[in-house]
Amino acid sequence: MTLLSLPPSAVHGDFFPFDGPKGVLAHAFEPGDNMGGDVHFDDDEIWRTGHRKPGFNLLTVAVHELGHSLGLSHSKDPSALMYPKYKRFSLTSPRLPTDDTLAIQALYGKRITKPETPTIPKKCQPNFSIGAVTMLGNEILFFKGSSVWLRTPWMTSWSRVKEGLISTLLPSVRSVDAAYNIPHTGVTFVFTGPKYWMVQKLKMKSYGGSIYDYGFPTTVKKIDAAVHLREYKKTYFFTGHVYYRYDEALSVMDSGFPRKIQSDWPGIGDKVDAAFQFRGKRILSSTI
């Protein structure tokens, strides 16, 4: 393919000389040998990158002519770029009209896109942080983005950790913001945005509920971390710079909440990313 800007009224060997200002602006040849695919522009015209007059928008004309260069004929659809009359085209919203898309796909086929496979972050990177931690059955689950790591507590070697994508473990869930487990029931609650799921023995027990079922105000859009303290039968939810306490036995939020994290959990900062209770110890994680 060759793009040429030719002198006024140039005879350039293709038997189609230009005719001066405001006549034929450009022409193109269908794919083939020699001049096949070439596009020629008349340098006798006033070309502009914008749409102010006098002059013609170079991009608008070029897109139409390149369509011919690729093998497209004129369209009867007035909204198409290949309509005989030039249609304005802008790089700020470069969307190809449907008729042009179907026409080019008829010649060259649809674009084949290979789905991007999420990469599992390396757990030993210096800047690695955990998004959520909980127990599920006999496994400790660590969540980060779309990834999950499973570790059996009595294994001492981190090389025995299993890793994979959350979606392979919990098909309805793509990422996890927070999670907590109630040991005596064996049920784990997993939170993503304003939704949560109940999981038991790696099986989804519900199709997803709303965090507002717990009694959160509508100003809360997601849960950052959660942990259940079995000795009190209370669940703590961390969101933003505050935390809430939920009574699992009565299924209500405790009064007097939310409270500021920094006031009641000194040293952790004002935001909690993950929370976990293991062997009687409460573990809070913050990257701030």
Active site residues: 65
Any long-range contacts for 72-80 (C-beta under 8 Å, 24+ apart)? 72/100, 72/103, 72/104, 72/107, 75/99, 75/100, 75/103
Q: Which two tokens stand for residue 140?
A: 């400790």
List the beta bridge partners of residue 70: none
What does the alpha-carbon distance between residue 227 and residue 165 come to, in Å, rounded to a whole number? 23
Closest CA to 72 of 35, 16, 14, 30: 30
Calculate the alpha carbon distances from 186 to 28, 202, 203 in Å.
70, 10, 11
Closest CA to 177 of 273, 77, 104: 273
How many CA atoms lie less than 13 Å away from 33 in the CB half-sphere? Answer: 0
